[in-house]
Structure 1
Amino acid sequence: MSGIATVSVAATASSVPDYTISIGPGLLDDGALLAASLRGRHALLVSDANVAPLYAQRVEAALRAARPGLALSRWVMPAGEQEKTLTRFGEVLDALAALGATRDASVIALGGGVVGDLAGFAAACWMRGIDVVQVPTSLLAMVDSSVGGKTAVDLPTGKNLAGAFHPPRAVVADTTALRSLPPRELRAGLAEVVKYGAIATSLKPDDGAFLDWLEQHADALLGCDDAVLAEAIARCCRFKAAVVARDPFERGDRALLNFGHTFGHAIETEQGYAGTIGDGLNHGEAVAVGMVLAAGLSSALGLADASAGDRLRSLLQRLGLPVTIPDGLDPLALLARMRLDKKADAAGLRFILWDGRGGASVVSGVADDAVLAVLRGETAHA
């Protein structure tokens, strides 16, 4: 099929095969591609109430045409981050049991980041690990959560606190699915795209000008230009593939991908993951605010010029994303949420901060007072 881009992701362990990310139009109907990575005769399609009515039947028809003997079942969850729970995780395991899934079975995750995380975690745990094929339908999932094998569910105390590293067998990203995204969800995905631009030099030094490219193509991205979106997705996947190959279990460079996420996750958790039902910020929006806050903290600590944070803020605003903490959130409560973040350690709070020129680093032991000043807006443009 023409117009298909592929990105190879190197194996993270001797027991894990390399896998390919396929990006392009029409892939949801490509049964041969979808079935190519299915090793056994059982497959469970996991989706949500928003995505399943649009695409589940098409994917199942394509799979059955390519693999007539496939025992294929479907499990659909309610949509939203608030559903990414241990209860739903258990329901996926029950669906695998009802299917009679054996150790060579596959889970097919059809949806956004919530579906991908939940389905991937269930695949990691069923019989101590079966294959998962990620079929992302949101921009955020295509550029970030479907790649690299981080799977998890949320707990009331924090986001993604229960999970496992479980690389997919394949990733299939059909860019035409982005046409059905609500504009807000497209913008949320663009926040993660901007994240790669902000720290590009640290991830892939030969593509350090990605932020410049995003500024030049912001209008085309918002307009869902197929070619521009496909290029952005492929470049983001190459960034992530490069860093995952160096650090599969987030013990070093891979933590840089969390730029903006310590602040963002605290906002999401404090709002009770209400963004997906319209009462708060969704993940991408929270990350956008978090990046502005991280840039402000970087400036306050003397790591970056304030002008770099202004540039980042301006691009996010062009893309229709929020850049300030929602009203009513208590800075002290947000700080308490950060202490439970996975990036905190015995030395205290750790943040991914930047130099304003595409470089990022993990900074430990940041004083509470400095963080609170940023949360309270007491530093320039924080």
Structure 2
Amino acid sequence: MILFIVIILLQFGLRFVDSSASNSLTDCQAVAAKFNNTCNGVAVSSIIATTGTNVSCSSGFTSTTCPGTMDSSTCKFQHKLCVTCSSTTTIRIRVQSNGLPRFCPNTPAPIKEQNIDFEVNFNPNVNVNSFVHNPSTSSQLNSIVCNISNQASVPSASNYVSFSNSGSFNTLAGVSVDGVSILNVNSANNVDPFYPTGGYTSESVDACLGHPNAASNGYHYHMASGCALSPPTETIKSCKSTSGCSTSIANYAISKFSSYRTLTVIGIAKDGHVIYGPYDSTGAEITKGFDICNGMFYDSIGNYAYFATRTFPYITGCFGPGNYPSFLPSCTTNKPTAYTKSAYAG
């Protein structure tokens, strides 16, 4: 009888590890529908050339910093986003965005329209026992998750293709549901931009947790932003001038998802895996069960996704699956407690 139970459990375990993810055309379209698209469900030849959603900002911009046009003292620009799915032998998801949000950012630096355009296998099958990253030492871990360039390349299983003919998106980790870029978590100094080590200064962001980078002036996130789901209509302040944000940006970020205490799509990673908010389907905050990339096997089907957390790397630090070492990164003072397998990872 005991031998029979063991055999059944082994069979179940093997079936679980080798199970396929939810990556049908219907699954892909359900995720694409969560994005604030400005197209009609068909990929466009150029996202820049399309008509988007108008955004008017009566303050906070000048003719130098406005990403659109100035009408008297009002900055006017358009949010443009088109996330679509296609069916061939493998379901593909295409992400086209000009990188501009649906709200008025607060930044003294210029913001410019981007031309993000890539296609990738949607939610590719991955195996709990096959790691993309498997560091065995602290230095190896740091070279992965404390490295701004580590997401320049995408795992071959994702079949990532870029259609953009302008700019470099080597530091792009994914795209938020509001079309804003999600960049690799690290600063140019290869440390946590908000809780840095090495004596570096924390980077400044606005109350939506975004700021432009110096290379392309693209507005982007490193941390999950509640503004992507509920764009503010009022003029937002800087993080340091916002109650809660100035004292603990990590806690502030999670607090903005209080109305979304369920499994909530907040973006798509450049490797085709879904990015979810900080809560699972039971309403529990994700504080464990993730690997070094912040990815987690989160259901019995075998789905792997990235989750927003209040600890580094906040959204995703590498393209997974990664392993679960006992040591932690040295580029942040806001480390996770530990890397632990979820119940579905065995």
- Is the TM value for this pair above 0.5? no
Higher relative CO (Cα under 8 Å, sequence separation at least 6) belongs to 2
- How does the TM-score come out when normalised to structure 2? 0.28
Q: TM-score, normalised by structure 1?
A: 0.26
